[in-house]
Amino acid sequence: MRGEALGVAGEGEMLLGVQHLSVGIKRRGTYYAAVDDISFKINPGEIVGIVGESGCGKSLTALSMLGLLPEGVQVRGGTILFDGAELRGMSPQELCRIRGNEISMVFQEPMTSLNPLIKIGRQIAEPLELHGWKNKQRIYDAVRAIMGKVGLPEPEALMAAYPHQLSGGMRQRVMIALAVVCKPKLLIADEPTTALDVTIQAQILHLMKWINQDLGTSILFISHDLAVISRLCDRVLVMYAGKLVEEGTVQAVFQHPLHEYTKGLIGSIPNKGQKGTPLVNIPGKVPSIQEKSSGCPFAPRCFRAEPRCFAAFPAPRSCNDHWVCCALADHPVRLHCKES
Ligand SMILES: Nc1ncnc2c1ncn2[C@@H]1O[C@H](COP(=O)(O)OP(=O)(O)OP(=O)(O)O)[C@@H](O)[C@H]1O
Ligand SMILES: [Mg+2]
């Protein structure tokens, strides 16, 4: 079973344990799986990346952790254990207590999450007030301190500004300040650097490292950009068409990618020697949720696919926390463990 392969069951240390999570989208009365039986865990202090092309289910996976799935989208199966408590089936009030306080989220476009009519200082103070802080001076001090920590200059002046007066990079820092002001145990960052230019992107990644190391916050970092994931994360989950197809430490997955999809993604990272070549070198596109069959969803795009790949989704094979769901991949045992 996938959960067992991942070592999810029965681990005391784990902060987040997702087992057999499926998320369905309702279309004409039928639910189609956009996230299909995925399992993973995040340990305290870890930065875990999810990578995959557009539409493969990264955001829906993240939103299910917080009970924030949009209308017509539903968790259809599985369990989400956070810090010993099952999040699935929690009441909206209980989830509210956890959101922003113990788990918080940063999105790609800060303008859609910030309220354009409320001053920056008030917006950063809101999570503190929502989670029971009453003393005005303490709130002010905490807001000022976190603004300084996330690199917002002249916090006093900025507190009185409105979001439209800030640059994109500054707005993203405000979003991050808002997300971490309560010092959450888990931060979910969904493409937080995608809309930013490269210099600002590097600064935000640096900030993520600081949040992880200084606040001790674990991070689930979502990106379609494997180069970003490799710089930031300890472990990476590779997602394709709603399935997790490979997982391992960044080092293992980068040095020995096992799935043809992962190999394609790594091959598409631009490097100086490849100037002028197209970035994405995997022909075809991710199937829609209605097109998916019971086989490996990558088979129609895989140059090595055999009839058995179209027949059934392969069971995971693993060794030393590096695992892959591919019938044709080299066995990780040969890479990481001695064969007996
Ligand atoms: N609100 C919604 N209603 C209907 N379908 C949706 C909704 N949100 C997402 N989907 C569909 O679910 C699938 C997974 O979407 P998701 O947003 O999780 O992908 P993603 O991996 O985050 O992509 P991206 O990299 O573009 O952000 C896609 O096929 C998408 O079209
Ligand atoms: Mg997304």
Mean pLDDT, the chain, rounded, equals: 88
Q: What separation in Å is there between the alpha carbon of 235 and the centre of ligand 1?
A: 23
Do 313 and 217 lie in a common domain? Answer: yes
Most informative mutation of 25, 50, 237, 243 for ligand 1 (most atoms within 8 A of CB)? 25
Give how many domains the chain has, as a whole number: 2
Element (H, E) at 268: none
The span from the CA of 83 to the CA of 43, in Å, is: 10
pLDDT at 274 over 80: no
Tell me, what's the pLDDT at 6?
44
Do 233 and 326 lie in a common domain? Answer: yes
Do 208 and 161 lie in a common domain? Answer: no
Do 77 and 186 lie in a common domain? Answer: yes
Query: Which of 181, 216, 240 represents a domain boundary (last residue)?
Result: 181
Q: Cα torsion at 91, 126, 114, 210 (round to 10°)?
A: -100
Do 168 and 46 lie in a common domain? Answer: no
pLDDT at 9 over 60: no
Do 78 and 132 lie in a common domain? Answer: no
Q: What is the CATH number of the domain that holds 254?
A: 3.40.50.300
CB under 8 A, 24+ apart: contacts of 299-305: 301/261, 302/260, 302/261, 303/260, 304/260, 304/328
Residue 82 identity: F
pLDDT at 73 over 80: yes
pLDDT at 156 over 70: yes
pLDDT at 7 over 80: no
Phi-psi region of 267 (alpha: psi -120 to 50; beta: other; left: phi over 0): alpha
Q: Tell me the pLDDT band of 128, cut-offs 50, 70 and 90.
A: very high
Residue 73: domain span:
2-102+182-336
Query: Which of 147, 181, 215 represents a domain boundary (last residue)?
Result: 181
Question: In ligand 1, which atom is closest to the CA atom of 62?
Answer: 18
Neighbours of 61 (CB within 10 A): 27
Do 161 and 206 lie in a common domain? Answer: no
Do 187 and 175 lie in a common domain? Answer: no
Q: Which residue, judged by its Cα, is nearest atom 6 of ligand 1?
A: 25
Q: What separation in Å is there between the alpha carbon of 23 and the centre of ligand 1?
A: 11
**Residue 185 to residues 32, 63, 101, 181, Cα–Cα distance (Å):** 32, 17, 8, 11
Cβ–ligand 1 distance for 73 under 6 Å, the answer: yes
The span from the CA of 140 to the CA of 9, in Å, is: 42
Do 199 and 176 lie in a common domain? Answer: no
Query: Which of 130, 161, 181 represents a domain boundary (last residue)?
Result: 181
Tell me, what's the pLDDT at 279?
46
Mean pLDDT confidence for 147-159: 93
Cβ–ligand 1 distance for 57 under 6 Å, the answer: yes
For the chain, percent of residues with pLDDT exceeding 90: 68
Tell me, what's the pLDDT at 340?
56
Q: Helix crossing, 168-180 with 120-130: angle to 10°?
A: 20
Q: What separation in Å is there between the alpha carbon of 222 and the centre of ligand 2?
A: 8
The span from the CA of 258 to the CA of 235, in Å, is: 15
Do 62 and 96 lie in a common domain? Answer: yes
Cβ–ligand 1 distance for 59 under 6 Å, the answer: yes
SS3 249: strand
Q: How many residues does this entry show for the chain?
A: 340
Do 195 and 126 lie in a common domain? Answer: no
Tell me, what's the pLDDT at 10?
42
Do 253 and 324 lie in a common domain? Answer: yes
Tell me, what's the pLDDT at 271?
62
Tell which wins on pLDDT, 74 or 198. 74
Cβ–ligand 1 distance for 289 under 6 Å, the answer: yes
